């Protein structure tokens, strides 16, 4: 039999993908003791990586101890490796020991980890700093980029013009004038592959000064031409109407929307200057009888007017509307896009300044590396030669990632080595992260030679009970066709059979032993009718549709939880799946509120979800942050009163008027207040981490397990901040304001509580009972919540570029109909995949709830997922036992299939318990003894510390500033950032002016010298030296080091070392200077 080394496993939910991957890995690894070093297995999450490693090591450990001939895995391995039981056991033992002794070569990792490893190996070739940092927080970087761009408004007139016009545009549209959020929305595109693919065109056009202004000028001109043409048509129509003595209300449809003739009179309207008859109306105007009513007395006049030109004028409108929609689509993001190049420029500057590489750049860099080098050279650089590649979750692979892996796979296949792809197109729900399901669907098979391919299907569902499997088989065999009909009927777009192709072969089999169990599974899907909306879009800026009356759904959840627990299900067996975080928060609030109101109900309503465990929701965390704010500005009493409020809440103290009055406190808090006053000055001098620790200690939550878990999360957040930033209190508070909703309490996986998670995060997981309360959402989103569409466009022969388009239905009647049609098809497939992922998480029981709506005539809008599901259930679909209508209650709008087992587990009466999370928090002073340092709290001591603080700030300014003007601007930014007050600003400003009046100082900041601030000098072994300021002229170089505090001989030695390094690098005579700032003294170092 001909060997085909490229195995493509097309899996389905619950089909044993991890088991299959482990088996295939072992087939390769057990061929020789060192074979595992030549295998690279990649997946997409750390959790999946850990699971796969554990599975491989667990199976190897078991095989090294005993072989079980009846086990399928053992049989397959002996057959493939041509070994007997003894040989397989020996090979497993040898491989296991080899992995444990060379664990660094055990290459099972995330795809990002592997790519980062390659990038670091090619740092020199890619012109990266030797010690670059990988930046994962793109949102934080984008915040900084937008701030940096806005700060340039005073010096960049073009930028000022773009931002001013953009703010005015938003005000005219009734939105906030603050453009930062909108800039961040569009600006986030600079990190995405969709934009990176067009970046060369962007660089060649829009990145140049004046291009976008010229582009906009042409658009405005074409709009004006269209409006003039529309007004001309309106005048001609008016002249014809008057000539025959008619009013627009004389035509069919009176003054309503059916009066297509009146559209001629609406041309040139300020808001919608171009309008057009609908497609059905255009068909009607050919026949004159549709122009008037049967009882009209003006039939002859209307027919004459139609023939005299009204009909032809109406026919010209659709083409004009297409042009208008095209121009509107191009101009909608033009002002925001005007600052796009500034964001990209600032990103480059930031990456150079801080030696960072964005996580979003990794795929781009790697694509360039692989394209320019042969595979053997890449292996040489990363220090390993891989013969076999195993790629998991391939449906989520991006175009750039595949472009990086493809050459390595092709090289491996050229020597007939086994390579493996595993994926499920039906579970591709990460398109917004760059995942391209088309790769697995057909593109890879088209790009790799047929002679290598061995396509296998995993078609047995080992996860779910028979009824659940059969239900999903039937549902997802029928849904693709219905959704394709919806694409055609609702959007007039050809579905291209995309959904049917993706779900071809969706049906799964069930293991025989599961067919014999008593309980076959239960499915309950319930619909609620809501009021129908208009069939047309009322607002292009609509973020999301309303998702039904949530309260009615929430009220049904408690009885379901009770019934499940009555039937023996533990809380950990139950999961709620949602699309939005807020929905998860609503569910958590509902269940926890019920538990608090009914503590003796005998049921457990413990829930775990990221949304319910946000640090920012905790009163203890709010208290910590409030007191940190008070430390940042002790003159502001509002944060202090906020702290006392949350302290009283945590310790269940009675609220009284004194708690809220400015200068008083309840008597039970006076002792705590006295302690705070006594220790305030000491706390103000502590580093950030110790300030947090002292506040937690002061808060008295060490014995409160739940609160301690939350405040420990704050400590971890502060630690994460300090690792990457200056340990500055105000800086941390600003950072917390932006990041508080991203931080959650980390919880143990085995805690016995119900899970609430998004459908995206549920992928790869399974639960005995799954409840999906909100199955109704808008399929094709409009406005800010919709994805940005990038498209090339030529407005004229000389003005061709790429522009961002906002997702909106008017694109269907524009020159962008093709690219919008692609988005519509993929949006419907996204919804179909989301439903598939949600429904296939269930092992035994599945509950679903959806709203739907229909008009009084029974017309259902198929743009909502709930409406599509209702349509299918109302029509019926095939099930193994009976047609689905057999289990459908037309009156109650409920589908219910499956019988509970007769005997159920006896339920013990349990008392609801609080989540008991263990977090250790110990004051380091209890563990370590340090040399005591006595703070000088005398007036002179406080003054000395203040002088040193000012010296540090001046030092920071002089490091970075290139002139007195820049130094004063930096000082102003310190005030804006809250680092100093106005009085301190005046003090430092005076000192800076005095410094720059010194002749020596003026020379250091002269324009004819090349200046480098905090420039790292790389030493052998990877260490660096960073002089404050290096100056290079034609005939000499200089090193300046600024110091605060007392003089010391080591300062002189340090400058001498700098002088020697700079002289060696520049090959110029080098002078050195020490500049002490408090008081100002300058010394030349010989």
Q: Among residues 763, 756, 749, 836, which one has the least CA distance to residue 557?
A: 756
- Give alpha helix (H) positions in 340-418: 340-354, 362-372, 375-382, 399-414
Ordered DSSP codes for 224-254: HHHHHHHHHHHHHHHHHHHHTT--GGGSTTT
DSSP state letter for 127: T
Q: Is 969 exposed, middle or buried (0-12, 13-18, 19+ CB in 10 A)?
A: middle
Whether residue 17 is annotated as binding a ligand: the answer is yes
Whether residue 876 is annotated as binding a ligand: the answer is no
**What SS3 class is residue 419?**
strand
- Tokens 């928060």: give the residue: 585
CB of 868 closer than 8 Å to CB of 482: yes
Whether residue 15 is annotated as binding a ligand: the answer is yes
Distance between CA 687 and CA 133 in Å, rounded? Answer: 25
CB of 691 closer than 8 Å to CB of 666: no
**Kind of pairing, strands 1010-1013 and 1029-1032?**
antiparallel
Whether residue 13 is annotated as binding a ligand: the answer is yes
Ordered DSSP codes for 809-842: GGGGGSTTHHHHHHHHHHHHHHHHHHHHHHHTTE
Q: Which residues contact 371 (CB under 8 A, 6 or more apart)?
A: 403, 407
Distance between CA 377 and CA 257 in Å, rounded? Answer: 69
Q: Cis check for the bond before 1079: say yes or no (omega within 30 of 0).
A: yes
Distance between CA 535 and CA 965 in Å, rounded? Answer: 60
What torsion do the CA atoms of 445, 451, 452, 455 make, to the nearest 10 degrees? 60
Whether residue 903 is annotated as binding a ligand: the answer is no
Q: What is the gyration radius of the CA atoms in the chain, in angstroms? A: 35
Q: Is 978 exposed, middle or buried (0-12, 13-18, 19+ CB in 10 A)?
A: middle
Measured in degrees and rounded to the nearest 5, phi and psi for residue 767 equal: -140, 150
**What SS3 class is residue 904?**
coil
- Give alpha helix (H) positions in 102-179: 111-121, 138-151, 157-172
CB of 314 closer than 8 Å to CB of 274: no
Distance between CA 660 and CA 331 in Å, rounded? Answer: 52
Whether residue 185 is annotated as binding a ligand: the answer is no
Q: Among residues 613, 573, 577, which one has the least CA distance to residue 592?
A: 613
Whether residue 884 is annotated as binding a ligand: the answer is no
Q: Which residues contact 448 (CB under 8 A, 6 or more apart)?
A: 6, 409, 410, 413
Q: Which residues contact 918 (CB under 8 A, 6 or more apart)?
A: 705
E-strand ranges in 388-465 read 388-391, 419-423, 453-457
Q: Which residues contact 391 (CB under 8 A, 6 or more apart)?
A: 41, 42, 43, 111, 397, 405, 420, 421, 422
β-sheet bridge partners, residue 614: 744
Q: Which residues contact 710 (CB under 8 A, 6 or more apart)?
A: 615, 618, 620, 621, 745
Q: Is the dihedral of CA 326, 329, 335, 339 positive or negative?
A: negative
Ordered DSSP codes for 58-99: HHHHHHHH---TTSHHHHHHHHHHT--HHHHHHHHHHHHHHH
**Binding-site residue ranges for ATP:** 11-18
**Binding-site residue ranges:** 11-18
């Amino acid at each position: 039999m001909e060997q085909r080394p490229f195995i493509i496993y097309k899996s389905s939910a619950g089909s044993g993908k991890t088991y299959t991957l482990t088996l295939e890995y072992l087939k390769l690894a057990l061929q020789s003791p060192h074979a595992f070093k030549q295998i690279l297995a990649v997946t997409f999450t750390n959790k999946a990586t850990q699971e796969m490693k554990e599975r491989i090591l667990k199976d190897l450990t078991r095989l090294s101890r005993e072989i079980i001939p009846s086990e399928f895995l053992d049989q397959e391995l002996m057959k493939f490796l041509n070994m007997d039981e003894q040989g397989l056991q020996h090979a497993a033992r040898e491989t296991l020991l080899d992995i444990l002794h060379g664990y660094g070569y055990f290459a099972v990792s995330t795809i990002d980890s592997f790519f980062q490893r390659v990038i670091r190996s090619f740092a020199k070739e890619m012109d990266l700093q030797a010690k670059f940092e990988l930046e994962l927080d793109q949102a934080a970087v984008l915040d900084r980029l937008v701030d940096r761009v806005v700060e340039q408004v005073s010096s960049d007139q073009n930028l000022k013009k773009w931002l001013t016009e953009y703010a005015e545009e938003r005000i005219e549209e009734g939105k906030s004038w603050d453009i930062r959020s909108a800039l961040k929305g569009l600006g986030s595109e600079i990190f995405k592959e969709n934009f990176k693919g067009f970046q060369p065109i962007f660089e060649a056009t829009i990145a140049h000064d004046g291009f976008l202004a010229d582009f906009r000028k042409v658009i405005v001109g074409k709009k004006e031409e269209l409006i003039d043409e529309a007004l001309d048509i309106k005048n001609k129509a008016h002249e014809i109407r008057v000539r025959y003595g008619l009013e627009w209300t004389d035509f069919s449809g009176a003054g309503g929307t059916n009066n297509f003739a009146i559209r001629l009179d609406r041309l040139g309207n300020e808001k919608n200057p171009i309008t057009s008859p609908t497609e059905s109306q255009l068909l009607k105007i050919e026949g004159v009888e549709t122009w008037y009513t049967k009882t009209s007395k003006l039939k002859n006049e209307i027919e004459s007017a139609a023939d005299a030109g009204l009909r032809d004028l109406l026919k010209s409108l659709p083409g004009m509307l297409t042009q208008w929609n095209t121009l509107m689509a191009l101009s909608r993001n033009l002002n925001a896009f005007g600052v796009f190049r500034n964001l990209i420029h600032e990103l480059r500057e930031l990456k150079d300044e801080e030696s960072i590489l964005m996580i979003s750049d990794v795929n781009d860099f790697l694509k360039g590396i692989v394209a320019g080098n042969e595979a053997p050279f890449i292996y040489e650089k990363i220090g390993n030669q891989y013969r076999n590649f195993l790629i998991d979750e391939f449906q989520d692979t991006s175009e750039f990632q595949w472009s990086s892996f493809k050459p390595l796979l092709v090289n491996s296949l050229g020597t007939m080595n086994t390579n493996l792809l595993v994926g499920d197109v039906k579970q591709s729900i990460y398109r917004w992260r760059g995942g391209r399901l088309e790769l697995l669907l057909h593109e890879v098979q088209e790009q790799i030679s047929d002679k290598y391919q061995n396509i296998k299907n995993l078609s047995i569902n080992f996860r779910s009970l028979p009824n659940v499997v059969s239900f999903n088989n039937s549902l997802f065999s029928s849904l693709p066709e219905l959704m394709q009909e919806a694409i055609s009927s609702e959007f007039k777009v050809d579905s291209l059979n995309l959904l049917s192709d993706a779900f071809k072969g969706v049906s799964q089999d069930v293991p025989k032993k599961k067919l014999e169990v008593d309980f076959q599974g239960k499915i309950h899907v319930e619909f609620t009718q809501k009021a129908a909306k208009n069939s047309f879009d009322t607002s292009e800026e609509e973020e999301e549709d309303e998702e039904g009356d949530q309260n009615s759904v929430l009220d049904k959840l408690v009885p379901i939880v009770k019934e499940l627990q009555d039937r023996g299900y533990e809380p950990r067996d139950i999961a709620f799946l949602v699309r939005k975080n807020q929905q998860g928060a609503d569910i958590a609030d509902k269940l926890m509120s019920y538990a608090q109101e009914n503590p003796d109900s005998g049921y457990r309503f413990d829930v775990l979800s990221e949304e319910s465990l946000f640090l920012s929701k905790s009163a203890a965390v709010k208290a910590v942050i409030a007191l940190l704010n008070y430390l940042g500005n002790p003159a502001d009493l509002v944060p202090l009163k906020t702290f006392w409020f949350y302290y009283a809440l945590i310790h269940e103290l009675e609220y009284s008027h004194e708690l809220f009055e400015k200068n008083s406190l309840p008597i039970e808090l006076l002792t705590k207040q006295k302690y705070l006053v006594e220790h305030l000055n000491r706390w103000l001098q502590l580093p950030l981490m110790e300030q947090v620790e002292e506040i937690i200690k002061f808060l008295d939550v060490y014995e409160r397990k739940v609160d301690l878990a939350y405040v420990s999360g704050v400590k971890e957040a502060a630690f994460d901040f300090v690792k990457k930033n200056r340990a500055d209190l105000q800086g941390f508070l600003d950072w917390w304001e932006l990041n508080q909703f991203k931080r959650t309490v980390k919880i143990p996986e085995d805690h016995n509580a119900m899970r609430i998670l998004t459908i995206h995060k549920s992928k790869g997981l399974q639960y005995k009972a799954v409840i999906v309360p909100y199955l109704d959402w808008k399929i094709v989103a409009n406005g800010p919540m919709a994805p940005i569409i990038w498209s090339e466009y030529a407005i004229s022969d000389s003005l061709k570029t790429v522009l961002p388009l906002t997702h909106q239905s008017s694109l269907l009647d524009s020159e962008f109909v093709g690219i919008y049609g692609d988005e519509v098809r993929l949006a419907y497939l996204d919804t179909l995949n989301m439903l598939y992922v949600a429904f296939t998480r269930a092992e035994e029981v599945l509950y679903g709830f959806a709203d739907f709506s229909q008009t009084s005539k029974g017309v259902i809008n198929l743009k909502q997922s709930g409406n599509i599901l209702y349509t299918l259930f109302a029509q019926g679909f095939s099930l193994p036992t009976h047609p689905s209508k057999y289990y459908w209650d037309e009156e109650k709008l409920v589908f219910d299939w499956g019988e509970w087992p007769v005997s159920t587990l006896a339920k013990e009466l349990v008392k609801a318990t609080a989540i008991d999370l263990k977090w250790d928090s110990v004051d380091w002073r209890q563990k370590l003894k340090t040399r005591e340092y006595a703070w000088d709290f005398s007036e002179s001591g406080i003054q000395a510390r203040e002088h040193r603080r000012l010296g540090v700030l001046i030092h920071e300014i002089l490091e970075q500033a290139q002139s007195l003007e820049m130094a004063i601007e930096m000082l102003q930014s310190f005030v804006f950032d809250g680092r100093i007050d106005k009085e301190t600003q005046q003090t430092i400003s005076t000192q800076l002016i005095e410094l720059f009046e010194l002749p020596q100082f003026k020379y250091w900041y002269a324009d004819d010298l090349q200046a480098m601030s905090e420039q790292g000098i790389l030493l052998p072994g990877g260490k660096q030296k960073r002089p404050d300021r290096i100056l290079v002229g034609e005939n000499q170089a200089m090193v300046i080091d600024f110091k605060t505090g007392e003089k010391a001989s080591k300062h002189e030695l340090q400058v001498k070392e700098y002088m020697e390094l700079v002289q060696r690098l520049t090959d110029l005579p080098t002078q050195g200077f020490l500049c002490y700032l408090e008081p100002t003294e300058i010394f030349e170092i010989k």
